[in-house]
A = this chain, B = another copy of it.
Amino acid sequence: MILKPVSTVEALAEALRTRVLSGEIPAGTPLTEQELSALYGVARPTVREALAALVHEGLLRRERNRSAYVPEVTTADLDDLMYVRRPLEDLMAVAVTGNRVLAAEAALDRLAGLDAAAPWADVVACHMAMHAALIEAAGSPRLVRLYAALAAETRLGLVRLRDVYDDREELVAEHRALLDVIAKGPLEAARRAVRDHLNWRT
């Protein structure tokens, strides 16, 4: 039985990550170490470590002698993210096609089950969790790691773009169809479906 202790730094990083990804913190707002230290009741070095972790994930940026801030993710950024994401998703399609991915289906079910008034950030989170589960099913630790780096920033950008998905049912149906073709193949159809999905959606 594996225990999973959570350090203070990890807990703080997670709390900040959640806030960043919820869209609560406007881009550019300084996240001062002292304020966070007071707000969360932890020492400043602890804040520094948590901020550094988020900077490494791409969720925050930081320049010398400046407070950390949430970056603006532009459409050019999203394009660049998509540029490198495409081949990684294709690796996934090749590795996973022909197999059901129950974790991805569960994530889609969570998405489908979201209340119509659910925050957009929750929609984005479930959606990306579904994609991440597919990636994880490919069984490559580095693929998971690289994809996570992209996913964090992608998610940050998506949280600000509200107009990609207007129709929840359509969103769910599309992703259901994607999971279906990945589960059943054939491979070329799955790869094409992944490519088309990425070219048109995210």
Contact = CB atoms under 8 A, between A and B. Distances in A.
Interface in A44-76: 45, 48-49, 52-53, 56, 58, 64
Nearest to A91: B87
A88 interface: yes
17 contacts: A7-B64, A49-B49, A52-B52, A56-B56, A58-B145, A80-B141, A81-B142, A83-B140, A84-B88, A84-B91, A84-B146, A87-B87, A87-B88, A87-B90, A87-B91, A142-B153, A146-B149
Q: How many chain copies does the complex carry?
A: 2
A113 interface: no
A141 B52 CA distance: 20
Mostly, the A contact residues are helix
A200 to B, nearest CB: 20
Given A5-B64, A7-B64, A64-B5, A142 B53 contact: no
Number of chain A interface residues as a range: 20 to 34
A198 to B, nearest CB: 13
Contacts of A90: 87
Contacts of A45: 45
Interface in A89-143: 90-91, 140-143
Nearest to A87: B87
Contacts of A187: none
Contact of A143 (B48, B58, B84, B142): B84
